[in-house]
Structure 1
Amino acid sequence: MKIATVGVHVLDTHVIGIESIPEGSGGQLVETIRMSPAGTAGGTAVVLSRLGAEVLSFGGVGADPIGSVLAGLLAAEGIDVSGLVRKDDHQTSASVIPVRPNGDRPAWHCIGANGAFTLDDLPLAALEGITHLHLGGPEFLGGEAAGQLLAHGRSIGAVTSLDILAPGDPDMLAWIAAALPHTDYLLPNDEQVLGFTGASSLVEGAQALVAAGVGCVAVTQGAEGALVVTADEVIEVPAYPIEVVDTTGCGDAFSAGFLRGLALGRDLRGAAELGCAAAAQVAQGLGTDAGAYSLDSMIAFAAEPPRAP
């Protein structure tokens, strides 16, 4: 599996032990401050690399220290970051995530260079030889450009996948609609599916997205696991029993596990089980790069009996 992960790359900073924002210029001691690579392209790239895929990342980062840290963290995971383009007039996209004692995790986010990345920043020759093309955050490119990129991926024999960062909204779906017919696998969450389509159920919403041109929709449902829908079947895969520490990046981890499972020849159910297993690993620590695992250990974990839905 040689995959190009294109689009949103973010540096997340988790702050653990936030009780409140101190008054005035006051301070507060916290338990942990930790940085990790994230984003619908960057976070997915990390988990894919850990699961044995050859990964090339393409996206925009700033010419700033945040960009250097993000690129360094990705490279340390074995990811080819030569496709990350420095944008002099933009900072690197970053989030600060204060985690409260009860597990709530509001976030401050700066879009930064992700909003400045265009197809002109991605030489198509750099995609030669890939088997998969994953686009995270098509809303920044727009549907027409995203569709052009995915169509090119298909023309060179790559399997295409799409993960949307924005909340579910019919206008957002219309904005990226031109990309859907070129998408083999759409990887949204449950709130996005319902918001995009206005459907009364996830199955109906996913079926509407298939009718819009997507080959398969694999929906994450948090603690309920995943739902996989094609024109011919509906598959439910429950989550695995774990003690959740932080859910940041779980959707990206599912995408990685699901795509890796397909590349290994698993059927849709087996791929979704590997996706849920990857999400479970990430949820047990801080950030998308949480935990230590390999493809073999993940497959073994996925073989354990999951929690009933």
Structure 2
Amino acid sequence: MKIATVGVHVLDTHVIGITGIPDGSEGQLVETIRFSPAGTAGGTAVVLARLGAEVASYGAVGDDPIAASLLAMLAAEGVSVDGLVRKADQQTSASVIPVRPNGDRPAWHCIGANGAFTLDDLDLASLDGITHLHLGGPEFLGGPAAGELLAHARSIGATTSVDLLAPGDPDLLAWIADALPHTDYLLPNDEQVLGFTGAASLEEGARALVAAGAGCVAVTQGAKGALVVTAHEVVEVPAYAIEVVDTTGCGDAFSAGFLRGLSVGRDLRGAAELGCAAAAQVAQGLGTDHGSYTLASVEEFARSTPAR
């Protein structure tokens, strides 16, 4: 699998042990502060690389210390970062995620350079030879530009997938509608599907997105697992029984596992199971780069771990 992950790249700062914002200028001791590469392109790239894919990332970062850290983390995972352009007038996108004792994880986020990335920043010739293009955050490009990129990927023989960052809203779906007919696999979460479509059920909403042009819709449902819908098939798989530490990045990990599963010949059910197993690795720690796992170890985890 030779995949280009295009779009949103973020440096996450996880803060564990938050009980509240201190008054005035007072401080508070916390359990852990940790950085990790993230984003619907960046986080997915990390997990794909760990699962044995050849990964090159494309997007925009600033010319700042945050970029230096993010690029170093991605490169350390084996992700090619040559396609990430520097925007001197932008800061690198970053989030601070305070995790409360009950698992809630509000976030402060700076869009930064992700909002300045355009197709002019991407040399289409550099995509020659890829087998797959994954676009994370088509809303930043807009539907026509996203559709152009995905259509180009198909024209050179690649399959395509799309993951969205923004919450579900009918206006957002209209904004990216031109991309859907060029999308082989759409990878939203359950709240996005219901918000985009206004459907009464997740299956109904996924079917509406297939009718809008997506070839297959694979929806994450948190602790319930995943639902995969095509024009001819509906598959539901459960999540795995694990001790959850933090769910930040689990959607990106599912996307990576699902796409990697398809690339090694799994059917939709098998790919969704691998996606849920990859997400389980991330949920047991902080960030997509938590722990150490490979395609073989995640497959073994899926075989030996019971479902919820």
If the length of structure 2 is used for normalisation, what is the TM-score?
A: 0.99
The reply to whether residue 184 of structure 1 matches residue 181 of structure 2 is no
The reply to whether residue 52 of structure 1 matches residue 52 of structure 2 is yes
The equivalent residue for 1:104 is 104
Unaligned runs of 5+ in 1: none
Matched residues in 2 for 1:15 and 1:203: separation? Answer: 35
- 1:201-240 → structure 2 map (5 Å cutoff): 201-240=201-240
The equivalent residue for 2:145 is 145
- 1:8-19 → structure 2 map (5 Å cutoff): 8-19=8-19
**1:222-267 deviations in whole A, cap 9, x for unaligned?**
0000000000010000000000000000000000000000000000
- 1:80-91 → structure 2 map (5 Å cutoff): 80-91=80-91
Matched residues in 2 for 1:96 and 1:77: separation? Answer: 22
The equivalent residue for 1:271 is 271
Letter in 2 for 1:231: A
Matched residues in 2 for 1:211 and 1:177: separation? Answer: 11
How far 1:307 moved relative to its partner? 2.0
CA RMSD of aligned residues (A): 0.7
The reply to whether residue 283 of structure 1 matches residue 265 of structure 2 is no
Distance 1:161 1:82, change over 3 A: same
The reply to whether residue 198 of structure 1 matches residue 221 of structure 2 is no
Matched residues in 2 for 1:253 and 1:22: separation? Answer: 33
Identity %: 82
Matched residues in 2 for 1:239 and 1:295: separation? Answer: 18
The reply to whether residue 166 of structure 1 matches residue 144 of structure 2 is no
- 1:43-82 → structure 2 map (5 Å cutoff): 43-82=43-82
Q: Quick check: 1:238–1:306 contact (8 Å CA) kept in 2?
A: no
Partner SS, residue 303 of structure 1: helix
Matched residues in 1 for 2:101 and 2:165: separation? Answer: 26
Runs of 4+ that moved beyond 3 A: none
Partner SS, residue 207 of structure 2: helix
The equivalent residue for 1:245 is 245
Q: Quick check: 1:47–1:257 contact (8 Å CA) kept in 2?
A: yes
How far 1:216 moved relative to its partner? 0.2
How far 1:102 moved relative to its partner? 1.6
Matched residues in 1 for 2:268 and 2:303: separation? Answer: 15
Letter in 1 for 2:275: G
- 1:120-131 → structure 2 map (5 Å cutoff): 120-131=120-131
Unaligned runs of 5+ in 2: none
Letter in 2 for 1:14: H
The equivalent residue for 2:118 is 118
Partner SS, residue 282 of structure 2: helix
Q: Quick check: 1:2–1:131 contact (8 Å CA) kept in 2?
A: yes
Partner SS, residue 96 of structure 2: strand
Matched residues in 1 for 2:301 and 2:54: separation? Answer: 22
The equivalent residue for 1:155 is 155
Partner SS, residue 304 of structure 2: coil
Matched residues in 1 for 2:23 and 2:305: separation? Answer: 48
**1:53-92 deviations in whole A, cap 9, x for unaligned?**
0000000000000011000000000000000000011100
Would you say how many aligned residue pairs link Structure 1 and Structure 2?
Answer: 308
Letter in 2 for 1:260: R
Matched residues in 2 for 1:237 and 1:306: separation? Answer: 12
**1:196-221 deviations in whole A, cap 9, x for unaligned?**
00000000000000000100000000
The equivalent residue for 1:27 is 27
How far 1:300 moved relative to its partner? 0.9
